[in-house]
Amino acid sequence: MNTQKQLGFNLIEVLVTLSVVGILATIGLPNLNGFLLNNKLTSRTNKLVSTFNFTRGEAIMQNGPVHLTAITADDWGKGWTIWVDRNGNGEPDADVDPPEILHEVKFSGTTTIKLEDDNFNATSLDTLSIAQVDDDLKDKTLSYTGGNGTLALTGLIQFNICDNRTGEKGRKIEIRPTGRVALTDDEFQCQ
């Protein structure tokens, strides 16, 4: 009678365990990547919505214009600056007292945020905004008025948010002339 106690795993148990782990990893990792990309897209969308709401709230609280300027004119996905023009030079200045820059957001990566609408030229905000800003900033600045936080708009404007996945569903944000922001349920294919 052999009464030896087995310690550890035998070779077949190890191979079966590794096979099961390998199958689960093969199934789970592509889904994890999609989940992470969707989470990043949602996070950027929420950050933009909160930025619009913050800027509008600051304009109401300060009872004066507050500007929201994209870092680059053709893509808001790189970030933006929220600022007030206390010295009246039409530019955000960090070296004045108190600083005119209220908040800056900068992103790296592949998320694109484009201003889109059929009713106006998507690269020119100077007809949409009452911004009294430098000419270099006009094509990428929204300006909220004081008192009620409205924008000088004749209709709503829309921002489309996509990442680098072609054919995926993007997010849409609409800003109404009152300055209020709404996420829309309209789906569109990113290109």
Let me know if residue 191 belongs to a domain: no
Let me know if residue 79 belongs to a domain: yes
Q: What pTM was estimated for this model as a whole?
A: 0.74
Q: In terms of residue numbers, what domain contains 25?
A: 11-183
User: In CATH, what number is assigned to the domain containing residue 88?
Assistant: 3.55.40.10
Residue 16, pLDDT > 90, answer yes
The predicted structure's pLDDT at residue 187? 64
Residue 79, pLDDT > 50, answer yes
Q: What angle do CA 105, 178, 41 make, to 5 degrees?
A: 35
Q: Rg of the Cα trace of the chain?
A: 25
Q: What is the pLDDT of residues 88-133, one digit of tens each?
A: 788 888 788 888 888 888 887 767 777 665 443 333 344 444 456 6
- Positive/negative CA dihedral, 58, 119, 73, 189: positive
The predicted structure's pLDDT at residue 97? 81
188 confidence band (pLDDT: 50, 70, 90): low
Is residue 94 within 8 Å of residue 55, measured between CB atoms? no
Nearest CA-CA partner of 144 in 45, 88, 77, 65: 65
Let me know if residue 4 belongs to a domain: no
Q: Which of 17-21, 66-70, 120-124 has the highest mean pLDDT?
A: 17-21
Take residue 93 and report the two structure tokens written for it.
């200045």
> Total structural domains in the chain?
1
The predicted structure's pLDDT at residue 8? 78
Higher pLDDT, 61 or 89: 61
Q: What angle do CA 129, 77, 88 make, to 5 degrees?
A: 35
Mean of the pLDDT values across residues 147-166? 76
Let me know if residue 129 belongs to a domain: yes
Let me know if residue 188 belongs to a domain: no
Let me know if residue 2 belongs to a domain: no
